[in-house]
Amino acid sequence: MKLNQRGLLIVISGPSGVGKGTVRKALFEEQGHDFVYSISMTTRKPRVGEVDGIDYYFVSREEFEKRIKDDALLEYAEFVGHYYGTPKDKVERYLSEGKEVVLEIEVEGALQVREAMPDAVFLFIGPPSRRALYTRLLSRGSEDSSTLKQRMDKAEREFLLAHKYDYIIINDDVRNAADRIIAIIRAEHAKTERSIHGYLDMLEAEEKNGK
Amino acid sequence: MKLNQRGLLIVISGPSGVGKGTVRKALFEEQGHDFVYSISMTTRKPRVGEVDGIDYYFVSREEFEKRIKDDALLEYAEFVGHYYGTPKDKVERYLSEGKEVVLEIEVEGALQVREAMPDAVFLFIGPPSRRALYTRLLSRGSEDSSTLKQRMDKAEREFLLAHKYDYIIINDDVRNAADRIIAIIRAEHAKTERSIHGYLDMLEAEEKNGK
């Protein structure tokens, strides 16, 4: 019996290169869960093949800045001259429909979401070792050495922010990591602070029906 | 990868007649977990077939009262002239060996354990409805009507103590309830407060090995 009808906001985060995207994809392959992926909003131009409302919501700089002013974003950041952010309204609607909303974001953004949505579930995806992460960043191969150095320095700082999260999950095996997230979601729904209202409603409904 | 090497103390509790024992048995049938059941200590005489150290630790009243004085019990209570309680030392040893220690106790005892072991995991097993619980208490059939009335009154008070626990699990289906407890155990091990030390040790060990 599911006492908590509201969905959870699941924030998947961790150092660059740790495999957040792979873990998220594995999670969506799990059966019996109503997951929805929160689509980001950006001011950059669509690349060939990208579709508005599927890959991103593509908006103008003016519209994005209006949303910042209206506090209509859960988090946002600027990278190389473009804004990226998470629209609040869609997330809120999905949660009230009982869907589990998954955000896959950088550490900086995750800490902003913590402020806006303290009851979200914050997952730090960690590498099995520093070396594993560096090997992974190297193997991408598409970046020049100064970009790589920057990414490694960033990862080095992000390693140490694990304590800001609710849970730490080591991505030593993607299937394992996804299974662990499923366990966390089940546990979070059963948490007293989320389930006590459903429990008391259940007892009360019965009284009204004349037990 | 398991970052937290210490076992968890799992307290299974809830109203009399809710099926705590059945849920606990189903839990012990789950594969891949190192569960150990905490054996209670009592001053009542062994019944035929009961074995010291398996069903209970049978001790004298003097010894039990010495343990109370020495603060050597996680919880205790007196029922119809006999003491029942949980020895602290065994629980502590199992936990440090990485075993998950399961306590199946009454609501009163659970609230005492909360004081002594705040980092234990407190599970409230609830019935799918009041009626289900009453039907169950009735079907036991071994009790006279005044004892039954007492038990129902006690259950009625205990229903409302769910908010004192970490998680609420409805025992609508025993297998389901046990699965949910397994999910909670996996999630609790991944909690940052339990896993951060293992995570930092992992990074540090690597540095020492010259990454």
Per-residue confidence (pLDDT) for residue B209, from 0 to 100: 66
The answer to whether residue B208 scores a pLDDT higher than 80 is: no
Query: Choosing among A123, A125, A158, A168, which should be mutated to test the B contact, i.e. which has the most B CBs within 10 A?
Result: A168
What residue in A sits closest to B134 (Cα-Cα)? A211
What residue in A sits closest to B160 (Cα-Cα)? A200
The answer to whether residue B211 scores a pLDDT higher than 50 is: no
Q: In the Cβ-directed half-sphere of A69, how many Cα atoms lie within 13 Å?
A: 6
Per-residue confidence (pLDDT) for residue B202, from 0 to 100: 87
* Interface list for chain A against chain B, based on CB atoms closer than 8 Å: 1, 3, 124, 126, 128-131, 159, 162-163, 165-170, 172, 180, 182-184, 186-188, 190-192, 195-196, 199, 202-203, 206-207, 211
pTM score of the predicted model:
0.90
pLDDT above 90 covers a percentage of chain B that reads 63
Question: In angstroms, what separates the C-alpha of A46 from chain B's closest C-alpha?
Answer: 38
The answer to whether residue B135 scores a pLDDT higher than 90 is: no
Could B162 and A188 be called an inter-chain contact, meaning their C-beta atoms sit closer than 8 Å? no
H or E stretch at A140: helix A130-140
Per-residue confidence (pLDDT) for residue A191, from 0 to 100: 97
Which segment of A92-106, A193-207, B61-75, B182-196 scores lowest on mean pLDDT? A193-207
Q: Are B197 and B191 in contact (CB under 8 A)?
A: no
Residues in chain A within 8 Å Cβ distance of B188: 187
The pLDDT confidence band at residue B160, using thresholds 50, 70 and 90, is: confident
Residue among A162, A191, A206 whose CB faces B196 most closely: A162
What are the pLDDT digits (tens) for A21-36?
899 999 999 888 889 9
Could A206 and B131 be called an inter-chain contact, meaning their C-beta atoms sit closer than 8 Å? yes
Per-residue confidence (pLDDT) for residue A209, from 0 to 100: 66
- Which CATH class for the A9-38+99-208 domain? alpha beta
| Mean pLDDT, residues A48-70 | 95
Per-residue confidence (pLDDT) for residue B106, from 0 to 100: 86
Whole-angstrom distance, CA of residue A23 vs CA of residue A175: 8
Per-residue confidence (pLDDT) for residue B141, from 0 to 100: 64
What are the pLDDT digits (tens) for A121-160?
999 999 988 888 888 877 776 667 787 788 788 888 888 8
Sign of the Cα torsion A71, A73, A74, A77 reads negative
Could A131 and B211 be called an inter-chain contact, meaning their C-beta atoms sit closer than 8 Å? yes
The answer to whether residue A78 scores a pLDDT higher than 60 is: yes
Domain boundaries, chain A: 9-38+99-208
Per-residue confidence (pLDDT) for residue B31, from 0 to 100: 82
The answer to whether residue A210 scores a pLDDT higher than 80 is: no
What residue in A sits closest to B4 (Cα-Cα)? A168
Question: In angstroms, what separates the C-alpha of A121 from chain B's closest C-alpha?
Answer: 11
Q: Give me A94's structure tokens.
A: 């999905």
Residue among B126, B188, B195 whose CB faces A199 most closely: B126
Could A168 and B1 be called an inter-chain contact, meaning their C-beta atoms sit closer than 8 Å? no
Query: Choosing among B170, B173, B180, B211, which should be mutated to test the A contact, i.e. which has the most A CBs within 10 A?
Result: B170
The pLDDT confidence band at residue B41, using thresholds 50, 70 and 90, is: very high
The answer to whether residue B152 scores a pLDDT higher than 90 is: no
Per-residue confidence (pLDDT) for residue A87, from 0 to 100: 94
Whole-angstrom distance, CA of residue B2 vs CA of residue A121: 20
The answer to whether residue B210 scores a pLDDT higher than 60 is: no
Sequential DSSP letters for A84-130: EEEEHHHHHHHHHTTPEEEEE--HHHHHHHHHH-TTSEEEEEE-S-H
Q: List all residues 6 or more positions away from A72 whose beta carbon is below 8 Å from its beta carbon.
A: A87, A88, A89
* Interface list for chain B against chain A, based on CB atoms closer than 8 Å: 1, 3, 124, 126, 128-131, 159, 162-163, 165-170, 172, 180, 182-184, 186-188, 190-192, 195-196, 199, 202-203, 206-207, 211
The answer to whether residue A74 scores a pLDDT higher than 70 is: yes
Question: How are the residues of chain A apportioned to helix, strand and coil, as percentages rounded to the nearest 5?
Answer: 45, 20, 30
| Mean pLDDT, residues A54-74 | 96
The answer to whether residue A211 scores a pLDDT higher than 50 is: no
